Amino acid sequence: MVKVSLKEYSPDDIRKILRRVEGVFYDEPIVLDLGDVRRAYIVGDIHGDAVAASIILRLLDKSDEVFIFLGDYVDRGSYGTEVFCSLVERKLDSPQRVFLLRGNHECQETNRYYGFYEELAMKWWEEGAALWDEFNKVFSYLPLAARIDEGRLICLHGGIPRRLRSLDGLKRYRKGWRDPEDDVLLELLWNDPDESVDEFAPNFMRGPGVFLFGRKAFERFMQETRAELMVRAHTYIPEGARWFFDKRLLSIFSPIDYVGRPVNGSIALYDRGELKVVELRKLR
Ligand SMILES: [Mn+2]
């Protein structure tokens, strides 16, 4: 059994860590081009789950592999602070090996209402509310996408936006916003794939402004971007991972305990054109 405890952080520790990492994220582009990375572990939503984070960090700490995290570190689970701070400490130690992308829960309007604000306020009252603001400032500088292996694999949190032709189009955008400033940014963080959709359809499960994207939209985007494979997160998947569109898109979900709902938390391993699913329970 893996030890489930993550390190504890005081408000002073947190402020120091956030201030150190702010400039690191600030300097990263909105799309990370990691062309010479041929092999990487890719991690989906963690949502404040200390057990899943412990297993993933143990793997990270004992290996030299590149790790790309797809966002949704906070909300829902009770350990968003510890999960994000412990990932940030690895980022500070190995900025060229550990990459943190932004999820829709690293946005202020979302993490105000889905648990992270309460987590901080319950622990530290007014000081917690002030820390919430500092976390959100750091979140605003997280990159939105990464591509590796000469662009063969794309990693992002949600999905393909209706008005984005290729990943290069995203480079027109700056970072630093607390909540998505337009439909492209919102949809990139929120959209979901769906085999029964051709292009795009309203996403009634998620709400107004969010869309399902289908095979045609996916294939066109991948062709325009000259990419072969995509890994994304964002959707609750009980089995931990699900393939779409002839196994060109892999959706992963990485908590072990997801607010009491069953989940076989999984991560992905990309190795020179091959994508594999790794179940966290097999690493325990
Ligand atoms: Mn999400």
In the residue annotation, 105 being an active-site residue is answered as: yes
Rounded distance from Cα 264 to ligand 1 centre (Å): 17
Which token pair is 184? 């492209």
Distance CA 27, CA 184 (A): 22
Domains and CATH numbers, the chain: 31-161+229-282 (3.60.21.10)
pLDDT at 197: 98
pLDDT at 260: 87
Q: Mind listing the pLDDT tens digit for each residue in 199-220?
A: 999 999 999 999 999 999 999 9
Active-site option among 47, 105, 157, 234? 105
Distance CA 228, CA 230 (A): 7
Q: Quick check: 28 and 96 in contact, CB under 8 A?
A: no
Distance CA 21, CA 17 (A): 6
pLDDT band at 4 (very low <50, low <70, confident <90, very high): low
Is the pLDDT score of 2 beyond 90? Answer: no
Q: What is the dihedral of CA 60, 65, 68, 72, to 10 degrees?
A: -10
Question: Which residues, at least 6 apart from 31, have a Cβ–Cβ distance to it below 8 Å?
Answer: 143, 144, 145, 146, 147, 167, 168, 170, 171
Distance CA 211, CA 192 (A): 7
For the entire predicted model, the pTM comes to: 0.97
Is the pLDDT score of 254 beyond 80? Answer: yes
Rounded distance from Cα 53 to ligand 1 centre (Å): 16
Looking at every residue in the chain, the average pLDDT score rounds to 96
pLDDT band at 1 (very low <50, low <70, confident <90, very high): very low
Rounded distance from Cα 232 to ligand 1 centre (Å): 10
Rounded distance from Cα 233 to ligand 1 centre (Å): 7
Rounded distance from Cα 234 to ligand 1 centre (Å): 4
